[in-house]
Every structure is written in C-alpha cells, then in structure tokens.
Structure 1
Amino acid sequence: MDKHHDDDQKPEVVHADSVTPDGSSGDAEKGVARSRPTYVKTKEEIRYIRKVGWTFLPFMTTIVMVQFADKSALAISAVLGIYEDTGIGGSEFSWLGSIFFLGYLVFQIPNQILVQKFPISRYLGVAIVIWGAVMMFTAMGNNFSELAALRFLLGLFEATCLPCIYIIIANLYRREEQTLYFGIATMCQGIGSVLGNFVAVGISNMGNRRGIAMWRWNHLIFGALTVTLGILCFFFLVDGPRYWLLRLTPEEHEIVDRRTKDNAVIRTKKVNWAHFTEALKESRLYLILLAAIGLNMQNGGLLVFSAQLISTLGDFTPTESILLKIPGGACACLFSLLGSILARKVGQIAYVGILMCLISAAGCLILTIVVDGPVKLAGYYLSWGMSGASALLAATIGNNVSGYSKKIFYNSVYVAGTTIGQFIGPLLMLEREAPRYLTGPIVFTVGNIVALICFIINRWTMARENKRRIANPPEKETDVSLGLTDIEDRNFLYRL
C-alpha cells in the first residue's frame, strides 16, 4: 500500500487483525503478530465506504425486514382469525410453523451452487418476486393442505435471502468491519418483526373489509410489497465492490483492490468442490451447525406462538396481543446491535457471543419457571438475546472462513442449522401443555447452553491454530488472487 499521503487527507490508521500469541486481541505496540500489515484508511476510502453504505444498506435492511415479516406473518394470523376461517387446529398450526423451515432447509444445497452461477442481484431479485407471489397466494388458502404447500414454497424461496446477504457483506467490507454489518443484518430481523406487528395492528382495526378475513389481508399486503422489492433488487441491489451503481473512480478501483486483499475473498462463478470437502473435515463447521440449532429452536417456537403466549398473560384483545409483541422485536434489534458493537469494541467475538447466550438462557429459564404475569413477559423479551448470539455466530464465519466456495458452504450450513432449529421449535410447543407450553422453554434453555459451549470450543481451537501459525510464519505474502482457503493460507489468522 502507498504510504505517502498529503497532510490534508488525515488518514485513519487501522490495525488489521491484531492477535497475541495466545490468540487474544492485543496492541500493535506490544509486539503482536498479524495476518497482514497495518493499513491506512484514507479519506477517499472512507468516502467509498459511505458510497457503498448509501447504495447497499437500504436494500439490505429492507430485504431482511420484509423477509422476516413475511416469515412471521403466520404468528400474527393466529390472532387475526386463521383458526376460525380455515378450521385448522393447534397441532396443524404447529406444523404450518415448522413446514416453512423444511422448505428452507431443502433449498440450501441447490442454493450453494446457484448463488455462484448467477449474479447475486438478479438471482435474489427473482427469488424475492417469487416468494412475494407465494405470500399473495397464501391468502387464498382454505385448509391445512393448501396452507402447508404454500408455507413450504415460501420457505423454499426465502432460503435464498440470508446466504446471499452474508456473501455480499463478505465481498463489500473488510474483515474488521464485517462484525457490525452482520449485526445490522440480524438486527433488521427484529425490525421486520416490529414492522409486521405495526401493519398487523392496522389490519386488526380495519376488520374483514370486502369480505376478506384479516389474516388474508396481512398476506396480500406483504406479498405485494415483497414483489415490488424483488423487482427493484433485480436492477439495483449492489452485490459486489465494483457494481455499476457505485460509479467507481480510478482511485476507488485501487481502493477496492486493497480491500479485496484484506478480505481474502475473490468471487468466482466456478464451484470449487475441494472447498466443500475441506469444510466437512473441520470440527468448527459442526460446532457452528450445533450452535445455530441450539439458538434457533426458541426463534422458531416463540416466533410462531408469541402472540398466543402473550394473549394468555392477561385479558388482551388481538390488537393488544400484537402490540405486546413489538418490544420483543425491539429487544432482538437491541441485542443484535449491542452484541456486534461490543464485540467490535473489545475485539472478542466469542466471549460476547457467550454473554448473549447467557442472557437468552436466563430469559428461557424465566419462561420455564414463572407461570404468568409481567415477569414471564420480561423473560420472553430477554430470550431475544439469542439474536445477538446469532449475529456473532454469522460474524465468526465472515471473519474466519476464506475461499469463496468454502465461505458459501459455511454460510449455507449455518442457515441450515438455524432452519433445523426453527423447524424443531414450534413442534416443542405441545398443544396439550397450552397455555404454559413448558417443554419448549426447557429445551430452549438447554439449547442456549449448548451454543455457549460451542463458542468456547471454537475459540479455543482457532486460538491454538493462531499460536502455531505465529510460531512458524510463512516466508512470503499470500497472493489473494489464488483464492486460497483459511487452511491453505498460512498467513491467515483467525479473529476470536
């Protein structure tokens, strides 16, 4: 990197991936080793980052919010008349909650290949249009069979969303920047919950207009919004650092070159099957999978049954039950953002992830022990600490996996883990235990403890490998254009 800068540029000096020999974060002045040298973030690079933010972030946040609102529309439908209108029972409702995640899981394998073969903006845009259409068709469902088929298709096409968003973040931002943006992506799921609940409040007050049940209006409105969003994404979603909408200057092209080297990720349309094989041999892949399952059982269970659970804590109207769900979404946002900012501030992804797991476990434990009342509601809100832990689990992949095909594979396995957890969750909310639903919160508490243990083991494994690499450094720098994985690139140090 050119070290000569004019005085008026006031460059920001950033220490990249500083790690002490024991694997912990350290100060550059104390003789630490690094995976790459200190870089200088000039005013031009800061302007480039702002340009990326103004063009990419509005789309990213809207996509994630709408995706979550569409997924959680079923939970709101429970108090908007879906039971009475379609004749389904409690067990069938649980299956409608779970079958979405079955479709989500099935599509993860083809999604790994398709996301590499096509431009991400075009691929994701088409998928969004299709799942928006499925949302609108869901409003026409009249029985369990029809609703189950449509929920499966909704999960199938929504499965494209998060893996695409995660790989775009990894392409656009430096490793030391990514933790915050993974947190923002997770935070937007909470905002999507708030958005969906506010729209549902309006729908609950408008009644069955034109002879159409309120829950059907909910699906029609969000379906139309989703289709519109998909069309815009097809043409304008920034999916790479050189996307045409960014209108890069020659100097910004050089900045992109430096940032790409720091990321250690080069996009390619060729699927490297050796990357998949390498990933399957790594224990951390299975630990991430297990942690994702443990954290997301409550995400699925409490998401689908939240309105019903809250309605049992008092004599609430449907509108009041929906309004009381809103702080849950706000807590999900808060924990996601808090976890990401704290991890970036202290330079400890795993330890902050463990803290978030403890907060979430405490919330689930309260749901288990307390029968009813405000304290139980507080437990529900605290349980969304899992959002912070999930954001940091995604950041662990973004920061510590290199090789394009390998990173996509890891993201897909992580999303598969979240999907399996969310599939299991609603099934643990046993109809015979209503309204307390004791089995679910007990298992959810255990799931958080399992995720906590996975964070600990993963951190210890990566710290041990960092120590080996620092003790035996390679003789020359890595050529990033080779697209090496983190195992092949001995200059690569893991961020803990």
Structure 2
Amino acid sequence: MLFNNKNGNSNDEQKPNVIHNDVKSDAASSLSVDHEKGGVGFQKPYVKTEAEKRLVRKITYTIMPLVSWIIIVQFADKAALSVSAVLGIYEDTQITGSQFSWLGSLFFLGHLVFQPLNSYFLQRFPIGRYMGVCIILWGAVMLFTALCHTFPELAAVRFLLGFFEAACMPTIYLLVNTMYRRSEQTTYFGVVTMCFGMGSVVGNLVAFGISHMGTRLNIEMWRWNHIVFGSITVFLGLLAFFFLADNQRSKLLRLTEEEKVIVEERIQDNAVVRNVEIKKYQIVEALMEPRLWLMCIAAIGLQIQNGGLLVFSAQFIKGLGSFSSGESILLKMPGGVASTLGTILATLVARRTNQVCLTGIMMAIISLIGCIVLAAIPDGAVKLLGYYLSWASTGGYGLLATSVGNNVSGYTKKIFYNSMLVVFYTLGNFIGPLIMLEKEAPRYIGAMIGFCAGNGVAIACFFTLRALMMRENKRRLANPPDAPTDAHLDLTDKEDKNFLFRL
C-alpha cells in the first residue's frame, strides 16, 4: 500500500480519564512557572542534557533542510504567476487585468476547498508520505501550466495548484509540533516562516535569469518559469516521500537506546502523540473557543495584503517608476529579504522575551506603518520602503502558528486548529487580489486602506488572545493539580489542568 498507519493507535471516542502517577505531597510547590513569561505547564524545571542537545541537532539536520526547501519552492511556485505578469503572460494568453486578479484568487480557492480533506488525511496517513504525494501532484500541475493558452485553462491549473499545495503548511506545522519541545518551537516556526521570504528571493533570482532567455525553443519566458520550478518540485516530492522523518521514533533518525528514553520525555512535554482516530469532541471543543476565532480573524487581517501584494508585486513595483521587467523582478527581492529579516526579528524577540502575542503586535504595527506609507505616498523611493515594511506581517502570521503549536493539545484538536488557521490565511489571500481594483492602478488606494484596517484588526486580536490565556493561567496556577498528566492520554489543553499557555 502507498500509505500505512504503523505509528498510529486507536483510542475510544469517549473523553479519556486522567491517570495520575504517584507524586510527593509537596509536588505542587515544586511545580511552578511564571505565567507572565509564558508558562509551559506544571512540570519540574529541566536542564537539557548534552545527549538531548545531540538529539535535537540530529532531528534538525535530518528534517529541516528538506522542509526548508519544500517551503522555498512552494512559495516560488505560488508566486510564479506574479512574475509571469512581466514575462509575457498577458500578451501570450490575451488575459485582462481582472482575469489576472481572478487567477490570483483561484489559487486560494483551491487551498480553501482542500482543507477539510487535508485534516482527514493528516490524521489517517503517515505525514511524510502524504506530503510527498501532494508535492509531486502540485509539481505536475506547475508543468501542465506551461501548456495553457487561455484564461479557462489557466484558471483550472491555478485552482489545482492551490488544491494540492494546501497540504503543505498544515503538514509542516504538525511536523514541528511533533518533533520539537514547546520551548523550542518558536525557533523552528521562525525558520519555517523565514523560508517564505527565502522563497521570494530564490524565485525572483530564477525568474530574473529567465527574463534574459528570450524565447528559447519557441517557448515563452513565463512558460519556462513554470517548467523549471515544476521539475524541481516533482524531485522534492520524491525526496519527501522516501526521506522525510515524520515522527520522533522514525527509523530515519537512527535513535540509540538513550535517545529513545529522551524522546519519550520530549513527547510528554510537547503533548503531541499520533492518533489515527478522529475525535469529534475535540473539534467541537475547538469551535467553542474564542481563541480559535481570534487567531483566525488575525490571520485574515495579516494575509489580505500578502495576497494582494504577492500577486501584483511585479506590476506594482513597475508602476512605481521606469523599471524594466527584469528590474521589476529584482526589486521584488528586497521584499523577500525584508520578510526574512522581519521573521528573524520576530523569532529573536519572542524567544528572548517569551512574549509571542506582544511580539506579534509589534510586527503588525511595523506592517501597518508600511501600509500607511503605501496609501499616503504617491510614488518614489519612500513608497518602495513602505512596500518592504509591509512584509513584516509574515512574521506576525508565523507567531500565530507558533501560538497554536505552544497552546493547543489533543491530536485532533491541534490538526483542526492548524487547518482552520490555514483556511483563514487562505481567505485573506483570496480577498487580497480582488480588492486590487484595475481602475485604481497603479496606487490602489482602496486596497491600501483595507490593508491598514487588516493590521489594526490583527493587533486587537493579539491583545485579546493574550488576555484570555493570561486569565486562564492565573486560574490554573491558583488551583494546581496534585499530579502530572500522561501525554499518551491525548488530552486537550482544556481537559489537562496541568497545561499552561505560553503568552
């Protein structure tokens, strides 16, 4: 069979009872944590041993290079349409500006449609092989895009590209949740988000080279862009299918007996134990939580501008001055660099302060400043600076994913949270290109005002989310349980009273 469930286990649909281990009577006094600094749960402070540090390095060297390249190429594939705008797609296919907007949005419609299926497949299949199949399929779609000549054909492949790419980010978020301690996840979610910016840089470098090819073998430049990245994507899919370690006990990690013991301790810390049974009560519990909806609304607010500026970026920059097609592509690269630097800044600040939500607010404010500049300044270098600052929203979205990883337990519930976050990320990206109205080009004032409002909404959501989690932490610290919880029970963060939220 293509897929197997050898790492799964099955639990009853009924909510499990907590099974406590024997502990000393004074355990409560030794299980302390400062909720203002972002609690990780009622547990004794640990010092990471040299053996565990070696294990973390082994995990990182085994999975992160492949994961990073998957994200880089995924972003480049998604953004291929934007550079096609200055590589001849308008002239070659005779599409209009409004049709181009729809091509940008149809990608995210495919993203949206696939999410319910993705949530099911993530729980039922080994995520490494599942990811590999999806990557191969969207690589094939990229190759078929090079054969399109009309708007309906382009619309179909853009929808399918979004459909199959929809598996990528929820799978990677779950992989980070699974492989790393909660205290480590801020760093690795930062790496994941940083790769979005690197994808922009790599994609634009390749596109710049293609812009100097001209028509080779009677194939237009925009088609070559899809052929090159489609081929790379299929190759990465094969690598992921065979070589992506997707659980802490994977044979690809070649664990020693000592490392197997450490892995069990790490599983207890991050409270992620694979379970192939979909527990409906955990989905219902998630839907009833204000936290979920605050994260989702913040995701829309941060991603509206991402969708609009990503699809129209090359045209937008070209409209700011007398730039050639190649120069417009090159001037997109600092946006990718700005996104990468913003993510690094967000990660470092969040790690140093243990304040994920406040750091998210800071990134949204930086993005808001950039959007205000875009709305207020007619043209020139200052407006280009505003474009680069606006990409700080990428770092803010990465911190939303970090908050899910840190603050949601229960395998079904975590998958559902990740999927919902991507659904609303997708909605924001779907709306973004549609509000970039052709009649408002090149300044797109209405869209810029909408982007400012989106950042403001995200700031309010971050504040409220932090306040809710802080209040619950205070309540749990005032009434600490008298025994630890076994992570293998697959309890949700609501059921597990030992669980403290990281703010």
Question: Which band: TM-score by shorter chain?
Answer: over 0.9
| Distance of 2:99 and 2:370 partners within structure 1 | 27
- The alpha-carbon deviation at position 34 of structure 1 amounts to 4.9
Instruction: Give the one of 331, 338, 342 matched to 1:335.
Output: 342
| Distance of 1:264 and 1:332 partners within structure 2 | 31
Equivalent positions of 1:29-68 (< 5 A) are 34-68=41-75
Alignment of 1:428 onto 2:435: yes
Give the TM-score normalised by structure 1. Answer: 0.94
Identical aligned pairs, as a percentage?
57
Match for residue 3 of structure 1? Answer: none
Alignment of 1:92 onto 2:112: no
Per-residue CA shift, 1:50-72, capped at 9, x if unaligned?
10111101011001001000000
Q: Alpha carbons of 1:254 and 1:145: their partners in 2 closer, same or farther (altered >3 Å)?
A: same
Q: Alpha carbons of 1:450 and 1:155: their partners in 2 closer, same or farther (altered >3 Å)?
A: same
**CA RMSD for the aligned pairs?**
1.3
Per-residue CA shift, 1:362-386, capped at 9, x if unaligned?
0011000000000000000000110
Per-residue CA shift, 1:52-101, capped at 9, x if unaligned?
11110101100100100000000000000000000000000000000000
| Distance of 1:96 and 1:164 partners within structure 2 | 25
| Distance of 1:140 and 1:267 partners within structure 2 | 41
Instruction: Give the one of 131, 138, 141 matched to 1:134.
Output: 141
| Distance of 2:93 and 2:238 partners within structure 1 | 32
| Distance of 1:17 and 1:343 partners within structure 2 | 24
Match for residue 299 of structure 2? Answer: 292
| Distance of 1:17 and 1:237 partners within structure 2 | 36
| Distance of 1:35 and 1:426 partners within structure 2 | 46
Per-residue CA shift, 1:411-454, capped at 9, x if unaligned?
00000111000000000100001111111111001000100100
Equivalent positions of 1:93-492 (< 5 A) are 93-492=100-499
Q: Alpha carbons of 1:260 and 1:304: their partners in 2 closer, same or farther (altered >3 Å)?
A: same
Note if contact 1:17-1:495 (Cα within 8 Å) is conserved in structure 2. no
| Distance of 2:42 and 2:78 partners within structure 1 | 40
- The alpha-carbon deviation at position 304 of structure 1 amounts to 0.5
Match for residue 36 of structure 2? Answer: 24
Note if contact 1:18-1:33 (Cα within 8 Å) is conserved in structure 2. no
| Distance of 2:302 and 2:342 partners within structure 1 | 14
| Distance of 1:306 and 1:262 partners within structure 2 | 42
Note if contact 2:374-2:386 (Cα within 8 Å) is conserved in structure 1. yes
Q: Alpha carbons of 1:148 and 1:268: their partners in 2 closer, same or farther (altered >3 Å)?
A: same
| Distance of 2:356 and 2:168 partners within structure 1 | 24
Per-residue CA shift, 1:268-308, capped at 9, x if unaligned?
11111111010000001011110000000000000001100
| Distance of 1:342 and 1:398 partners within structure 2 | 18
- The alpha-carbon deviation at position 35 of structure 1 amounts to 2.2
- The alpha-carbon deviation at position 40 of structure 1 amounts to 2.1
Q: What SS class does the counterpart of residue 203 from structure 2 fall into?
A: helix
Q: Alpha carbons of 1:34 and 1:241: their partners in 2 closer, same or farther (altered >3 Å)?
A: closer
| Distance of 2:46 and 2:257 partners within structure 1 | 20
One-letter code aligned to 2:37: S
Note if contact 2:295-2:400 (Cα within 8 Å) is conserved in structure 1. yes
| Distance of 1:95 and 1:35 partners within structure 2 | 50
Q: Alpha carbons of 1:154 and 1:18: their partners in 2 closer, same or farther (altered >3 Å)?
A: farther
Flag the structure with more relative contact order, 1 or 2, with Cα contacts below 8 A and sequence separation at least 6: 2
Residues paired across the two proteins, number: 474
Q: What SS class does the counterpart of residue 47 from structure 2 fall into?
A: strand
| Distance of 2:214 and 2:410 partners within structure 1 | 52
Q: What SS class does the counterpart of residue 217 from structure 2 fall into?
A: helix
Q: What SS class does the counterpart of residue 383 from structure 1 fall into?
A: helix
| Distance of 1:53 and 1:326 partners within structure 2 | 27
What residue ranges of structure 1 are gaps of 5+ in the alignment?
1-15, 27-31
